[in-house]
Amino acid sequence: MTEGTDDDGGTNEPTAGGPSHVLVVEDDPDTRDLYADCLVDAYDVTAVATGEAAVAALDDSVDVVLLDRRMPDLHGDDVLELIRESGVDVRVAVVTGVDADLDLVGLSVDAYVEKPVGSGELRETVDRLVRVGRYDDRVRRYCAATQKLAALDDAPSVSDHDAAYRELVRRRETLERGIDDLRGALDAADYELLFRGIGGDGASDAAPPASDDLPV
């Protein structure tokens, strides 16, 4: 995700590296411009008209993809598959006029929004995916820092007075504060999105965990 530095402790505000990056994939020019105009005041927006252009524009700077499901070149489902195969850590919301059906079960999407969609709903969807993505990303980096410190604590050649060791401790503490800030910004729907994969079937029937049960 686009976080600027490992030490970013913000919530849903632009980071030191700039605002989050949204890729809008929509073949209708009026709809594409409408989505971009709705988001451009808070996010960096790249808007493209085809699935091929979407795949070409995808890189690690992209945080959220708004993906039309029906496009003239590549079908949105094919674009989604290519996005997941790319290995880019990105949240994807399908925004489409196609009614949801059971085929949705097999789609690796984070949100499914049916057209017509108002600017408020669109913005809320992106905001939520950004919040959840930042929390998820920061938890992974916090766990990585914790594991590194545990390994270094067992290394006889490493002193806790070493500059690199102290820097890692500081980074973990900063990440922990950032997790606390983000956790306070999450609501029940955010928790549901974060833990949707628990159980192994891509969705969870369990109630979202209380905030005290989340990583700190």
Give the pLDDT of residue 103.
Answer: 54
Could you tell me the pTM of the whole model? 0.65
Q: What is the pLDDT of residues 66-124, one digit of tens each?
A: 999 888 888 888 999 999 999 898 999 988 876 666 555 567 788 888 888 899 999 99
Q: What is the pLDDT of residues 136-187, one digit of tens each?
A: 777 767 777 787 788 788 778 878 778 888 888 888 898 888 878 877 777 7
Q: Tell how far CA 46 is from the center of its chain.
A: 16
Q: 47 near 37, Cβ under 8 Å?
A: no
Q: What is the pLDDT of residues 31-79, one digit of tens each?
A: 999 999 999 999 999 999 999 999 999 999 999 999 998 888 888 889 9
DSSP, collapsed to helix, strand or coil, labels residue 109 as coil
Closest CA to 47 of 25, 29, 73, 63: 25
Give the pLDDT of residue 203.
Answer: 38
DSSP, collapsed to helix, strand or coil, labels residue 129 as helix
DSSP, collapsed to helix, strand or coil, labels residue 211 as helix
Domains observed in the chain: 21-126 (3.40.50.2300), 132-213 (no CATH)
Helix (H) or strand (E) segment spanning residue 150: helix 119-153
How much of the chain, in percent, has pLDDT values that exceed 90? 32
